[in-house]
Chain A
Amino acid sequence: MSRLVADGATIFLREWLRYRRDRAYWVGQLAFPLVVVAFIGFGLNGVVRLPTGVDYTAHLASGVLALLVGSAGVGGGMTLIQDRESGFLRALLVAPVSRSSIVLGKIASRVVASLVLVLVLVAILATFTAVGLPHPAAMLLSVIAVTTAFVALGVALASQLRSLESFRLLAGLVTVPIYFLSGIFYPVSTLPLATRWLAYANPLTYGVDLFRFGLVGVHELPLLPSAALLVLLTLAATTGSILIFDRRAAR
């Protein structure tokens, strides 16, 4: 167990060394939500009245941050393809390190990177929107669950695909409907019945709702069931990605 944690920490350190240097990554991740809020949020703010009573800018800002967390998770799965292309994955696999610690280290590094981004962006957005951090625990649970689930998705895709191009294409194809039907851009309660049920079947809906509760203090769905579902999702996604990595991606 202690070895698992120590090895996971080593993988975490390695991922962190990589991100730290990738200035384009940080600039892009910081700029994207601000651009969306400034260029779309303010424009729609005068047009849209939400049934939840939240100012649209704050709704969109919290939603876009959740989207950021999700795409960072998929990016975590994508590093597997990069590691395979550079050959580094082979060096990892021949080391006396368990497959589980490799996956856990990758998940943890993405969780921490996303937390850093979310905190910085909340601090910036708080100066001109209604976004804040009234319920940090809800935000934390949501970031962990959403990141883990999307890393799992990324690992599953990476185990099937060999090139970065096809990964990006397919990941977009799979994740865009998930994002759109999760309450990022509008409350799911405003959807017509058929798509509303699709949204309820989408695990990300619960992550976004809890995340928004963390940042804006408003939620559409019952909190405790959402929280319980996210804990289950985290556990299932972690187990799933370890199994997939061990069986398929590690070849």
Chain B
Amino acid sequence: MHSAATIAGTSASEDAIVARGLVKRFGSVAALDGLSLRVARGSCFGLLGPNGAGKTTTVSILATLARADEGSASVLGRDVVRERAGVRRELGLVFQEPTLDPELAAREQLDLHGRLYHLESRRARVGEALALAGLEADADRPVRGFSGGMKRRLELVRGLLHRPRILFLDEPTLGLDVAARAGIWEELRRLRRTGDLTLFLTTHSMEEADALCDGLAIVDRGRVVAEGSPEGLKAALGGDVVVLSLERAEKKEEVRAQLGALSGVTRVTHEDVGGAGVFRIVVANGPQRLPELLYAARPFGVREVQLHRPTLEHVFLHHTGHPFELGGRELEGAP
């Protein structure tokens, strides 16, 4: 009894976001169909899924902009419906679409934001934010003339101006070019290292989820189909695959015994291809194990080596039974 209470207490304080059984219907379509998730405080959590999976709807509900038809959610222990005002003060939001006033200058947008959140030492913070976004030279120009990357950087620093404890980012790099995208990633990584800010981002980019997030929920058709760290999700598929092509194919039993005994190796299979023995070794954490594997295989004459790592693409396919690009609602009703 006592330990149960302690566990419940601990989990409540360590979860930044808890959602239970969220359902949201638009007409006859269920955008969310019983979505549940937990986000640890101070983590970078990614909601990964194809277009139409329900990512933006989830963010809208968690950020108090929309109400779920069923289920409940809390942010930093506060209910998103009953304690709306309290939740809003704690969160920053960077939307998928621009939400800047095109007629106002960058400095004015930030100043207004500071006023809306009743910030003290507003001028100093606005100055810092402009510097952070690299927009000092353009601070007094209307945002209308900004490039996509500049706007997104301004949105990002505006979302952070009031020092929220949770920052929601809905597709933060959608529509940006490679350089601008790299800039945003770098900024998000830097944020991760400072303070106990929790990042909650939605993305349909596997690469982005893999690069930024330490916790992931894969959503498809309004439900979470898999949850875990990117590494864990990929490892759950059985780990990495090392393919070794060896000269002395006749010693296959010996090779299998020796390689199979190495730590991390779960399976070794073999086939003969044109006189050489090709061995497929399933191993956890392939890049680290590779030197050991090669050392053990050296007496058998290594001709070629390949390392295959499972991607989140494989994870998605594994859990939904359909490839990522075909996911979502576009698929339904298709011939």
**A interface, CB within 8 angstroms of B:** 6-7, 10, 13-14, 17-18, 21-22, 83, 86-97
Sampled A-B contacts (8; CB under 8 Å): A14-B112, A21-B142, A87-B98, A87-B99, A88-B99, A91-B95, A96-B88, A96-B117
Q: Are A88 and B65 in contact (CB under 8 A)?
A: no
- Does B118 interact with chain A (Cβ within 8 Å)? yes
Tell me, in angstroms, the Cα distance from A91 to B168 when the chains sit together. 13
Give CA–CA (A17, B115) in the complex, Å.
14
B100 adjacent to A17 (CB under 8 Å):
no
Contacts of A97 in B (CB 8 A): 116
Q: With CB as the reference atom, state the residue of chain B lying closest to A85.
A: B102
Contact present for B93 and A86 (CB under 8 Å): no
Q: Which residues of B contact A95 (CB under 8 A)?
A: 88, 113, 116-117
A-B pairs under 8 A by CB, number: 64
Complex: chain B residue closest to A93, CB-CB: B65
Is residue B25 within 8 Å, beta carbon to beta carbon, of the partner chain? no
Say yes or no for B101: interface residue by CB 8 A criterion: yes
Q: Are A96 and B100 in contact (CB under 8 A)?
A: no
The majority secondary structure among interface residues of chain A is: helix
Contact A87:B113 (CB < 8 A) given known A17-B108, A94-B65, A95-B88: no
**Binary contact track B67-101/A, C-beta < 8 Å → 1, others 0:** 00000000000000000010011010101011111
Q: Tell me which residues across on chain A come within 8 A of B118, comparing CB atoms.
A: 6
For chain B, which range describes its interface: under 10, 10 to 19, 20 to 34, or 35 or more residues? 20 to 34
User: Can you name the residue of chain B whose Cβ is closest to the Cβ of A86?
Assistant: B102
Partner of B95, one of A21, A22, A87, A96: A87
Q: Is B186 interfacial (CB-CB < 8 Å)?
A: no
A94 and B63 form a contact (CB under 8 A): yes
Q: Are B100 and A87 in contact (CB under 8 A)?
A: yes
Chain A residues within 8 Å of B100, by CB: 86-88, 91
- Min CB distance A10 to B, Å, is 4
B64 at the interface (CB under 8 A from A): yes
Rounded to whole angstroms, the CA-CA distance of A95 and B99 in the bound complex is 12
What is the CA–CA distance of A87 and B94 in the complex, to the nearest angstrom? 11
- Is B184 located at the chain interface by the 8 A CB criterion? no
The contact string, 1 if C-beta is below 8 Å from chain A, for chain B 94-131, is 01011111111000100011011110000000000000
List, in ascending order, chain B residues with CB within 8 A of A14's CB. 101, 104, 108, 112
Query: How far is the CB of B175 from the nearest CB of chain A, in Å?
Result: 14
Collect the chain A residues with CB atoms within 8 Å of residue B63's CB: 94
B103, B142, B158 — most chain A CB neighbours (10 Å):
B103
Residue among A13, A86, A94, A96 making CB contact with B112, cutoff 8 Å = A13
**Considering only CB atoms, which chain B residue lies closest to A250 in the complex?**
B65
Q: Name the CB-closest residue of A to B97.
A: A87
Known contacts A86-B102, A94-B88; A7/B116 CB under 8 A: yes
Inter-subunit contact A17/B116 (CB<8 Å): no
Q: What residues of chain B lie closer than 8 Å to A94, measured between beta carbons?
A: 63-65, 88, 91, 93
Given known contacts A94-B88, A94-B93, A18 and B104 CB-to-CB distance under 8 angstroms: yes
Determine the distance from Cα of A86 to Cα of B158 in the docked complex, in whole angstroms: 16
Looking at the assembled complex, report how far the CB atom of A60 sits from the nearest CB atom of chain B, in whole angstroms. Answer: 34
Instruction: Give A98 to B107 CA distance when docked, in angstroms.
Output: 24
Does the CB pair A96–B101 fall under 8 Å? Answer: no
Contact status A10-B88, CB under 8 Å: no
B85 to chain A, nearest CB (A): 6
Q: Is A90 touching B112 in the complex (CB atoms < 8 A)?
A: no
A247 and B101 CA atoms in complex are apart in Å by: 23
In the complex, are the beta carbons of B115 and A10 less than 8 A apart?
yes
Q: A10–B109 Cα gap in the complex (Å)?
A: 11
Q: Which residues of A contact B103 (CB under 8 A)?
A: 17-18, 21-22
* Chain B, residue nearest A96 (CB): B88
Task: Tell me the bound Cα distance from A89 to B95 in angstroms.
Answer: 12
Give B61 Cβ to nearest chain A Cβ, in Å.
Answer: 12
Contacts of B64 in A (CB 8 A): 94
Shortest distance in angstroms between A23's beta carbon and chain B's nearest beta carbon? 12
Task: Map CB proximity to A onto B157-169 as digits: 1 under 8 Å, 0 otherwise.
Answer: 0100000000000
Within 8 Å CB of B99, what residues of A? 86-91
